[in-house]
A and B are shown apart, each in its own frame.
Chain A
Amino acid sequence: MSRRHRGHAEHIDPDLPITPMLDMSFQLLAFFIMTFKPSPTEGQLAMQLPPPEQGGGAAMPDPFGDKPAKFIVRVVANNNGQIARMSIKEEGAAAPPIDLGADLNRYMNALKESLQRNKDKGAKLTLELDGRLLHEYVVALMDHALRAGFSDISPILASGSD
């Protein structure tokens, strides 16, 4: 009660010292700016795991069925683990494999054409990769295939390259 009777005459304006807080804030800010290292953004590439058994003979094409077409890209690596040459063929087709050299853009265009030809029934892609091929190129091949429109991609080890 006695406090209430003091009235406004004794009102003291509190002086909050903001400068030390600002100093400290600037120091913290400087520390975080100097130690800040933005980490690169990571993402995932979806894939199908290799089938239980590889090979097993060539399947016959299914011209009248609704089964998706299956394309096989065979990749041979050089001794440095880079792409030496690639070829593409449709599983079971009589036509010989088409040579794509080591050009990833040519590979992507070939995939786009293959998908375009089979847009009504869809298509699967199997990458038969040389065991020496570096992961960087495996991802590049999958990346180009995804960009070409394939969603079902299965990387497997080419026979005789283990």
Chain B
Amino acid sequence: MSHGNIDRGEPNFTPLLDLVLQLIMFFMLSANFVMEQTAVEIRLPESIAAKAVEKTAESIFFLNINKEGRVILTPDQWEGDVHTLDNPIQVENYLRRRANEEKRRTKSDKLETVLILRVDRETEFRRTFEIMNACRRVGYERVQLRAILHGTLD
């Protein structure tokens, strides 16, 4: 009854560790893919025909509009203490300041920014239309509506 020749079997943990680390990497990366300008809680409508942003778009700017028709600015869009734009005149003035800044930066009279409206599904069209008109008066030509792709809603 000698125990001297018994080989100790050791499980190989390395592939298991590799797999676990890859899973951690996946969850960490997918958890960080939240864009700041779309972080506002807006209940978007669903759409089948919606498409991803054009690859040619150099600059994208989001406007988050709640069901009362107010524009909710995200922290990177704040102007001092102004966190919301309550009426179309305020929206127009805000967009005009941004547009002037862009024109100065690009040294061009044409606005290339794609303006994406994230409008709550319960907003009345008259409110959205006022904001669309404000965008047009400022000179934005590329305006799109944001929607959730059908079938991806929780």
Q: Is A138 positioned at the interface, with any CB of B under 8 Å from its CB?
A: yes
Closest to B118 in A: A42
Contact B129 A131 (CB under 8 A): yes
Interface residues as binary, B86-122 with A (CB distance below 8 Å gives 1, 0 otherwise): 0000000000000000000000000000001001111
Kindly state the interface size class of chain B when it binds its partner: 35 or more
Once the chains are docked, how many angstroms separate the CA of A22 from the CA of B107? 56
Min distance, Cβ A49 to any Cβ of chain B, angstroms: 4
Closest to A52 in B: B136
Chain A residues lying within 8 Å of B140, measured Cβ to Cβ, are: 49
Contact B125 A129 (CB under 8 A): yes
Once the chains are docked, how many angstroms separate the CA of A38 from the CA of B148? 13
Contact A43 B125 (CB under 8 A): no
Contact A49 B145 (CB under 8 A): no
Q: Is A162 positioned at the interface, with any CB of B under 8 Å from its CB?
A: yes
Given known A21-B17, A147-B49, contact A135–B24 (CB-CB < 8 A): no
Q: Is B34 positioned at the interface, with any CB of A under 8 Å from its CB?
A: yes
* B interface residues (Cβ-Cβ under 8 A, vs A): 13-14, 16-17, 20-21, 23-24, 27-28, 30-31, 33-34, 38, 44-53, 116, 119-126, 128-129, 132-133, 135-136, 140-141, 143-149, 152-154
